[in-house]
Chains A and B, each alone.
Chain A
Amino acid sequence: MTTDPNLDSPRTAVSNPPVQPMQANLGPGDVVRASAMPDLPPPTRELTPVAKLIDVSKCIGCKACQSACAEWNDTYPEIEENVGLYENPHDLTPDMFTLMRFSEYENPQTGDFEWLIRKDGCMHCADPGCLKACPAPGAIVQYSNGIVDFIHENCIGCGYCVTGCPFDIPRISQKTHVSYKCTLCSDRVAVGQGPACAKACPTQAIVFGTKEDMLAHAEARVDDLKSRGYDNAGIYDPQGVGGTHVFYVLHHADQPSLYSDLPEQPRISPVVEGWKGVTKTLGLAAIGAAAVGSVLHGLMTRANKVSAEDEVHAEELVSGREPPIPPEREVL
């Protein structure tokens, strides 16, 4: 159960690449949703949903995932100043699709000092806010295996994905003017490989496989944590966005915000829903109605024409035969 080429997607990230040549196994026929393309043809097949599980309790903060990510995606995050924080770079950037975020937490129950390290990056929502907000046809796609991917040649750099995302993930490059984020290594998954970060993780805090397998694994991890005294350990797979294809095991699942402001109940903002829903539909309808209404009024009523009489009046007025100041007609 590793990289069988007959499988529709890899079941693990740890195995080595297949030695035989392999066709890319993720293509246009696997797209279930695409931005600004409401009439997308249905996918030609249904892939097994995949997921990346990040077990925060196992993370040692080594940043091997970040290095692997930059290496695989061939990005060169800018070298920054050390400002006394472990985060490096300071935030997700167009060249850094994943970031270890470090928070220091003094647990009031135990008095323990806890170092909560969360690998931040795209969550690959089942209901992606970026895709909903995007105005460019086909710039954001969702495959039937759950991966949400940016198709850069269709991106126009408007930043609407930033507005739509409930997790503050996409970053627009000031050089290329397109948006970047974690692809869940869709290009690796297409050829039977798990994501680079999962492959590089030395503690298996990041694991990859089918969503079903990953959920089972996560549950086992939660049980283990509970047996070790983490009573609030749990899975973060937020249903507000339909569940996610990158999800966490947290020791404090009751307080996700402890982990560098992981949203408590993420969902696509109602403001974004209103903008992309009723505003778009009603707005276009109102504009259409106004345009058609004007044309109909123009065709069905007589235009307001100046009469010859009006011209005579004007001449009389201008030549002084009618007093310029009207006899009390002003007040009506």
Chain B
Amino acid sequence: MAKRMFSAPGDHIESRRPVTVSRYRGITRLNHWVTAASLIVLLLSGLALFHPSLYFLTGLFGGGQMTRWLHPFVGILLFFSFLLLFLQMWRLNLPRPEDRTWVSHIGEVVRGEEEKLPELGKYNAGQKFVFWAMSVLIVVLIVSGMMIWQEYFPHLVSIPVRRWAVLIHAVAAVAIILTFILHVYAAIWTRGTIRAMTRGTVTGGWAWRHHRKWLRELAGREGGGPAE
């Protein structure tokens, strides 16, 4: 079979009338939701210690001591969980020439007018941005986080370095929360997207509208002939 250019192993046309396309395997979805859940726990526990007005969020985790204890462990879980996602997704998130065109038409993207946009593979430039931003920020957060993990690494770095680590950790955390908001909002606003991560499939129309190259490749792999 031809080498996949725009799709991941497991992506396939699931049914033809109506068309549904399998976008994420069960294991990938599980992986995504473990990552998502850890990010949300980290976001809530981190914000609780970020600003006094949000300290009440420690109540969700059983108080300040528990929040302080829990946060780094969930960080480790997130790191490894995201690493698995990264290994599955990085190839299709490499930049391609059509990404430039897509970005230059970003106004139309936001207005939902996709007629003039180039045909795209499995991910558009926005999704790729989220992917790489998450990848970089998670590395920054885990490294700076280790440096300020008082319970287990109190002397890993000197106090002046620790001051930078805590500042960088805070700035990176704000950046990842902004990325997270963008990711969630884009998934909601682009109707028909969320089911890719719940049921694992999208409609043919969704694939045609947003990721036509991906759909074409999958259709080509199925032989392209009529089903019956």
Contact = CB atoms under 8 A, between A and B. Distances in A.
A36 B55 contact: yes
Interface string A134-177: 01110000000000000000101111101100001000101001
Contacts of A332: 98, 101, 116, 118
B65 A157 contact: yes
B49 A315 contact: no
Interface range, A side: 35 or more
Interface string A226-258: 000000000000000000000000000000000
Interface string B192-224: 100000000001111111001101110110101
B194 to A, nearest CB: 12
**Chain B at the A interface: mostly helix, strand, loop or mixed?**
helix
Contacts of B159: 162-163, 168
Interface in A32-60: 36-38
B51 A317 contact: no
Interface stretch (B31-39, B85-93, B133-141, B146-154): B146-154
Contacts, number: 191
Interface residues of B, number: 73
A275 interface: yes
Contacts of A329: 119
Nearest to A281: B51
Contacts of B170: 275, 279-280, 283
Contacts of A220: none
B160 A269 contact: yes
Given A154-B64, A280-B50, A311-B204, 4 more contacts: A137-B55, A172-B154, A294-B181, A318-B204
Interface of A: 36-38, 135-137, 154, 156-160, 162-163, 168, 172, 174, 177, 269, 271-272, 274-275, 279-280, 283-284, 286-287, 290-291, 294, 297-298, 301-315, 317-320, 324-326, 329-330, 332
Interface of B: 13, 16-19, 48-53, 55, 58, 63-65, 67-69, 98, 101, 110-112, 114, 116, 118-119, 148, 150-151, 154, 159-160, 162-164, 166-167, 170-171, 173-174, 177-178, 181-182, 184-185, 188-192, 203-209, 212-213, 215-217, 219-220, 222, 224-227
